[in-house]
Structure 1
Amino acid sequence: MKHALIPVTAALLLGMAPMANAAPVTSLTALQTAIDNAKSGDRVVLAAGRYEAKQPIRITRKSGVTVAAASVGGVEIYGASGFTFDSSERVTVEGFRFTHTATVLVPSNSHHIRLSRNVFQLKSPAEKHWVNVDGDDVEVDHNTFTGKSTQGVYLSVFGPSSGMAQRIHVHHNYFYNHSFTGSNGGESIRLGVSSKQRFSANALIENNLFEKANGDPEAISVKSSDNVVRYNTIRDSKGQIVLRHGNRTRVEGNIMLGGASGIRFYGNDHVIVNNLVTGSSGNGITVGSGDVIDDTSSTGKDRPDRVLLAFNTVSGNAGGIAGENRTYGPDSCVIANNIVTGSGQLVRQTQFSKFTWEGNLLWGGSAGDIPASGYRTADPKLSGELRRPAADSPAVDASAGSYPAVELDIDGQRREGRKDVGADERSGSGAERAPLTTADVGPNAH
């Protein structure tokens, strides 16, 4: 598959058809006046051009208003400030290119805000986040985040002092080229913080593309509870999907190609299923261990308890499924019906306590630290970029146990009868997913 890394240029961002027929305003002063006078259902449009924002563009006490660029990417906001929200709801900001220095903040007193089809390429100082969400029911979709070389997060989800922002939906965004070289603090998405790990966020992060997400070992860093991370593609990135804090998050159907590693988790009662990790220079999946048990607010690493790790394909990585070695090893987890291929020791961990192992299919290296009853050795006959099994693969109709929590496969197709081992359930429907590309995400995607 040919896959070009597309820089954010005028060729990518300009030349689209107008987003609305409303007469556009031609200055930020006129834009502010139009916003102040807007009523529910109004669409305020800014004409194409570059505009220096010396002070915030305020959206205050508004409901049901859209503020849009005249064409997608045709309006650049630069300077010290950008849009700010205050006590607003059901407001959409779409189609802009932001190169200013101020963080875009959705405060806790605003909700149902949508940031759509924008490009974020801020000139913010080090340690500043680019977008910070504290309000509930915020949608961040079809945006590009690119070009950050300093510490700070592309998209931070936080919340009021009493808990996490609720029901944030992040989808069809392109996170590209975070090049901060430090060891921590350059995530593409950070969902919560250590002090909020016990709070449910009920966020959904899906169908996003990450490329060269190298600002941090965590491309998606989850530090809250009760979230879903699904159907994302992470390619050629140092960043992983990491359940760093919190409990009960579902990680499903993600495609991870190349890069430094795959999925790493801490905390309790997660469900990690139907994911593909292939071609990485590190472990496909890392089972964390803890310096604390059942953490609630510290920055320590919480021992994983009762995590289901099942029906994943971990193929051709430098390491397979591996653990860590801290004071408290993971406890009572289930590792079942995964395909693990590669060389060397495919399962590596001496702290697995009271684990359930069954139905795993290993090939190419030594089994390592896995009981003989928990696996078979056979060639799964995988092929293609998504490492799908052939019709005569020993993975087909070969799973152990029922696992009702796993109804679908990596393609979102229903698993029928005795389930296949690994992420892919063979089907004649032809409805197979492919890794996301720049045509699927960002401002110009359908």
Structure 2
Amino acid sequence: MGCGSGSEDTTTVDDDIQQPKQNTAAKITGDITATVTEPNDITVNRQLTIDDPDEGEAQFTVVPATASQYGTYEVSASGNWIYELDRTNADVKALSLGQTITDTFQISSVDGTKVTINIKINGAENQQTNHAATFSGDSAVSINQNHSQAVSGKLTVSDIDTGEDAVQVQTNVSTTYGQFSIDSSGNWNYQLNVSKPEISNLTDGNQLYEDIYIYSVDGTASAISIEVKGIASQPSIVTTPDDTVPTINCTQTVNSIYQLESAASFTMTPGETLCLAAGNYTGLDLEFGGVGSADKPITIAAEEPGKVIIGGEVAVAMTGEYVVLQGFVFKDGTIDNTIIQTRANSSTPCNYCRITENAIIDMDEGLTDSTKWLYIYGAYNRIDHNWFAGKTTRGALLAIDRYKPDGVDIKDMEVDHAIIDHNYFGDRPPVNGQAYAASSDNEYEAIRIGTSDSHMGDSYSQVKYNYFERIQGEAEVISNKSGNNTISHNTIRDSYGSIVTRHGEYATINNNFIFGDDHPFSGGIRIVDGNHTVVNNYVQGARYQNSNWNGGIVLTSSNGSTSNGYQDVENVLVAHNTIVDSVNSLNVFGGKESTKADSVYFVNNLIANAIGAVVKNANDMPSNSTFSNNTVYGQSLADNGASSISGLTFSDPQLELASDNLYRPSSNSSYLDADTNVAIGNFTLPTHDMDGQSRSSTNLVGADTSSNDSVTMAPLTASQVGPKSYRPAYSKGYVKKVMISNHDFDTGDTSGWTNNGAQITSDTQDVFSRGASIKLDSVNANIEQNVYIQANTYYTFSAFIKGIGRLSVVVDGQTYSTDVNNSNYQFTSVSFHSGSATQATLRAVMDDTVKQKANILNANFDNKQTDWQVYEGSGIGQVQDSSNSASGADGSIKFKYDSTKGDNGTPHDPYIAQEIDVLANTDYTLSMYVLEKSNKDAQVKYGVYTTDIANILASHIADVSQLGDAPKGDDSFRQTTLTFNSGTNTKLTVFAQYQGDGSEIRVDDFSLTYDGSPIAGDVALFDSLRLVSHTQAAN
């Protein structure tokens, strides 16, 4: 075409073709700068926000942990970014005070919009200050006494100071019980000297410890804790049911806590297994769940069980169905309230969920508030093959929640059906670093199933095949507070307390092994509420002598309460149990309430070698009950002096200690055949014994029958429970026993001791336990033994003492001692701090200056007001009996003023009095215990008078509000004392007189003592000496 002046070139656009959409840059605001200061303030956590009108672009590009010039950073899709300074970086370490450097990195939105983050890094305040090293790795090991092979481990030292990531070398160093070496890289080995008497003489259930101190090159100290356990000569090892764990098949593996928390969600899919790679991590806040299935659960796990170790603050919450948490180690960290709970996502519970192969060790660092390590909500959850050790704070370690919201009928609450099996529970120490828990300490149990307010509902939970040792925080190891639970095949050792059906009916308690291991407050089984089955249990060594709550088997008195009181013990089967070497072997009226047990079937039980009377509170035997075919034997039959009780045959069964350290019938045993035809209501007797052997051919009383069948059940050991894929570390330990050679004189001689005139007694009236005790009958007689101790450590030395004994320990030239003057064996202890000493001398002697007691009749009001003169009447208040007691027995005196009942006179001063014989011109100490039971102040005037109360020789007004630091008895009684000289008097009257208006107060346990010398016939008896270390000074 030719071009002319009139021509026009045009372009045609098709309106149906969409033009490319232009991107709108994101607008990013928020934190783009931060400052860190070496060496402490080195981590920052900041937030960016994003505004982008383009669909789907209002988010950031995720950046996992990535190195920058001087540190690492990571970024989430929501704009949260974290920066951590690398303190080992040479440029960072070179910074001086006042110097700064800057680190930068970029964060991008998904559409490519970028911002630069600037981190200002300040030099340390004093680069000349040495930074303490930190240690991680193998810091504790537990071995048996016959372990002749060397054990080894590795500690890793981290230190930001150049050249200090190393350990001071130790080569073939002799330790208390062996030999130790460690190289500069932290590789260590320990060889136990199995020939040492302290090691070879260890008995089953006892252990000793030594802490071996190691040092980094800058002098930072740490310790490797060695535990050596005594074992039975031929331990029975059996296979337990359901002793398997899931195989971990990771579908995704992440390498940081941030990545794990980001990848977890509440919508995870069936069969998904999210794993965290092996390593040491700090802090975890994990919530996850979804709806899995039995064959395709949703799992978050350690890629290698036992090799993911997380410290710092930890919280895990699970929800959904068929959700699993597996293989993590939570150690040396802290928590807010709960470590693991089966509830998340708006408090939605987890059902059919599983917590398995996890270890929680020493996770209460720096905490004083109440916590729970595991809180289980939902139904059909399983907690198995875990390792729990070192919980120090109040609150049940593992709690099955049955909290009842207001307005909810208990019958409408979900039934739990929880299973707790094959777990290790260890080192639950007394609160506040003490050696022994106080009788009032509560909520320090290992397991609690339910709550007081919902106990009338059923849980149908099972606690089975678990191993407990050193659960020493309170009087309940397992606390049952709901209906229809089973507690079976568990082993409890060296623990303070019992298996307790605190609330709830229809519990089954069977085939449990409970060993006191000479813990002075160990228990057995305490029964509250009705319709329980208690069979085939073996209890050896219950020891809480002065308590009305603990013993071999305790039937608790009741008040019929339906809430937090003590429900009636009724319609209970107690059959085929064995109780050996125990105080209060059968307590038929435990606690402090007024109603005794009813409709108890106590049949075919065996009680042997009872310490003291077999039956405690024999005046209150259960009503409408069947006691039949029980063989019992001890120092006496009953505490009321009865020579016979129907259904109890008082005869020595001649048990012998078998090779597995269990007391069993011997060839010398008397007639022990069980009665299989006794009427026991709707109950049935067990068909197998504690060993799993059939009772069909030969059926004996007690937990053990005679059979050639294979043994399928036996006491568990720590090695049979816990994770299957790895062996966790033990807790660092809070209460540790120190080895005392021949501490219980079971050898029948004084071997291991330096003997200065002491003798072994086997007289049944003198012996405390197992046939032999030490007897001193002269002020010049004593026994002593040197032991190794740790420097700068708190210790408590204790024994059971009868007569006029003194227990003392000499440390670095200083003597610590305590005196006893008692006609019965009494637990006695003395505490001390070791200072720089590494040895101590333990001594048992007869006291050369004796606290003699004046004869006050019925001083603890066991027989109510008998032997006391009582002055009361209309207008001057009242004197009443009370079930509260300062010393465990049931009884005290209550003073009360009540204007609604005619008490309107003045000065409202009822009193009690008793005349006693005294020595003239002698210094006396009068003491009593008082308890105020109302909010108003009340006082008691007490003392001694000559002819009548108008002629008082000495008196004191006890004000309960001023006795907060005074010695404490049971039921929160406090002791008050008064000293005086008798003058020329040979008779005085002890009195206590109420002082108050509109209140009430109780008094108990009067004592009048004076110093004198031992007289002919005085003796001191000692048994079960024990030395433990603990973490704080004794109260």
Q: Structure 1-normalised TM-score?
A: 0.90
The residue identity in structure 2 corresponding to 1:305 is E
Specify the alignment match of 1:166 in structure 2.
416
Q: Distance in 1 between matches of 2:479 and 2:597?
A: 20
Q: Deviations over 1:375-408 (max 9, x none)?
A: 2233323223222212553354333535633222
Specify the alignment match of 1:394 in structure 2.
670
Instruction: Verify: 1:367 aligned to 2:643, yes or no.
Output: no
1:208 to 466, 483, 489: 466
State the Cα distance separating 1:144 from its structure 2 match: 1.1
Q: Distance in 1 between matches of 2:577 and 2:378?
A: 34
Specify the alignment match of 1:321 in structure 2.
586
Specify the alignment match of 1:272 in structure 2.
534
State the Cα distance separating 1:129 from its structure 2 match: 0.8
Structure 1 segment 130-145 matched on structure 2, within 5 A: 130-145=373-388
Specify the alignment match of 2:279 in structure 1.
49
Structure 1 residues 176 and 164: CA distance shift in structure 2, 3 A: farther
State the Cα distance separating 1:61 from its structure 2 match: 2.6
RMSD over aligned Cα, in angstroms?
A: 2.6
1:40 to 270, 284, 287: 270
Instruction: Verify: 1:419 aligned to 2:699, yes or no.
Output: yes
Specify the alignment match of 2:397 in structure 1.
154
Specify the alignment match of 1:336 in structure 2.
603
Q: Structure 2-normalised TM-score?
A: 0.40
Comparing 88-97 and 412-421, the one that deviates more: 412-421
1:310 to 572, 575, 584: 575
State the Cα distance separating 1:409 from its structure 2 match: 1.3
User: Whose strand fraction is larger, Structure 1's or Structure 2's?
Assistant: 2
State the Cα distance separating 1:78 from its structure 2 match: 3.0
Instruction: Verify: 1:94 aligned to 2:326, yes or no.
Output: yes
Q: Distance in 1 between matches of 2:611 and 2:387?
A: 37
Q: Deviations over 1:150-190 (max 9, x none)?
A: 21111001136353651100011111011133611101001
2:357 to 110, 113, 117: 117
Question: Equivalent residue of 1:66, what SS?
Answer: strand
The residue identity in structure 2 corresponding to 1:174 is Y
Q: Is the 8 A contact 2:509 2:534 kept in 1?
A: yes
Q: Is the 8 A contact 1:78 1:101 kept in 2?
A: no
Comparing 72-81 and 44-53, the one that deviates more: 72-81
State the Cα distance separating 1:418 from its structure 2 match: 6.2
State the Cα distance separating 1:32 from its structure 2 match: 3.2
The residue identity in structure 2 corresponding to 1:268 is G
Structure 1 residues 65 and 395: CA distance shift in structure 2, 3 A: farther
2:313 to 80, 98, 106: 80
Q: Distance in 2 between matches of 1:96 and 1:308?
A: 42
Q: Distance in 1 between matches of 2:624 and 2:402?
A: 37
Specify the alignment match of 1:15 in structure 2.
none
Instruction: Verify: 1:300 aligned to 2:533, yes or no.
Output: no
Q: Distance in 1 between matches of 2:382 and 2:208?
A: 25
Q: Distance in 1 between matches of 2:250 and 2:569?
A: 54
Instruction: Verify: 1:241 aligned to 2:499, yes or no.
Output: yes
Specify the alignment match of 1:376 in structure 2.
649
Question: Equivalent residue of 2:379, what SS?
Answer: coil
Q: Deviations over 1:71-124 (max 9, x none)?
A: 2221123333322123x1101101101244141111253201101011113236
Specify the alignment match of 2:508 in structure 1.
250
State the Cα distance separating 1:431 from its structure 2 match: 0.9
State the Cα distance separating 1:302 from its structure 2 match: 1.4
Q: Is the 8 A contact 2:403 2:451 kept in 1?
A: no
State the Cα distance separating 1:33 from its structure 2 match: 4.1
Q: Distance in 2 between matches of 1:279 and 1:150?
A: 27
Q: Distance in 2 between matches of 1:203 and 1:414?
A: 26
State the Cα distance separating 1:10 from its structure 2 match: 11
Question: Equivalent residue of 2:399, what SS?
Answer: strand
Question: Equivalent residue of 2:492, what SS?
Answer: strand
Instruction: Verify: 1:433 aligned to 2:695, yes or no.
Output: no
State the Cα distance separating 1:299 from its structure 2 match: 1.2
Structure 1 residues 164 and 381: CA distance shift in structure 2, 3 A: farther
The residue identity in structure 1 corresponding to 2:536 is N
Q: Distance in 2 between matches of 1:33 and 1:319?
A: 57
Instruction: Verify: 1:351 aligned to 2:594, yes or no.
Output: no
1:284 to 552, 571, 578: 552
Structure 1 residues 400 and 363: CA distance shift in structure 2, 3 A: farther
The residue identity in structure 1 corresponding to 2:504 is G
Specify the alignment match of 1:69 in structure 2.
302
Aligned length: 435
Q: Distance in 1 between matches of 2:647 and 2:430?
A: 41
Q: Deviations over 1:182-234 (max 9, x none)?
A: 61110100111100110000001001111010112100000111110001000
Instruction: Verify: 1:262 aligned to 2:524, yes or no.
Output: yes
Question: Equivalent residue of 1:130, what SS?
Answer: strand
Specify the alignment match of 1:59 in structure 2.
288
2:259 to 26, 30, 55: 30
The residue identity in structure 2 corresponding to 1:223 is K
Question: Equivalent residue of 2:598, what SS?
Answer: coil
State the Cα distance separating 1:21 from its structure 2 match: 6.1
Q: Based on CA coordinates, which of the two structures has the bigger radius of gyration?
A: 2
The residue identity in structure 1 corresponding to 2:416 is Q
Q: Distance in 2 between matches of 1:75 and 1:405?
A: 48
State the Cα distance separating 1:128 from its structure 2 match: 1.0
Comparing 379-388 and 227-236, the one that deviates more: 379-388
Question: Equivalent residue of 2:500, what SS?
Answer: strand
The residue identity in structure 1 corresponding to 2:615 is V
Q: Deviations over 1:39-86 (max 9, x none)?
A: 2112221111122336x2111334221111122221123333322123
Q: Which has the higher contact order (CA 8 A, sep 6+)?
A: 1
Comparing 162-171 and 231-240, the one that deviates more: 162-171
Specify the alignment match of 1:194 in structure 2.
452
Structure 1 residues 239 and 164: CA distance shift in structure 2, 3 A: farther
Q: Distance in 2 between matches of 1:11 and 1:93?
A: 30
Q: Is the 8 A contact 1:314 1:339 kept in 2?
A: yes
Structure 1 residues 396 and 360: CA distance shift in structure 2, 3 A: closer
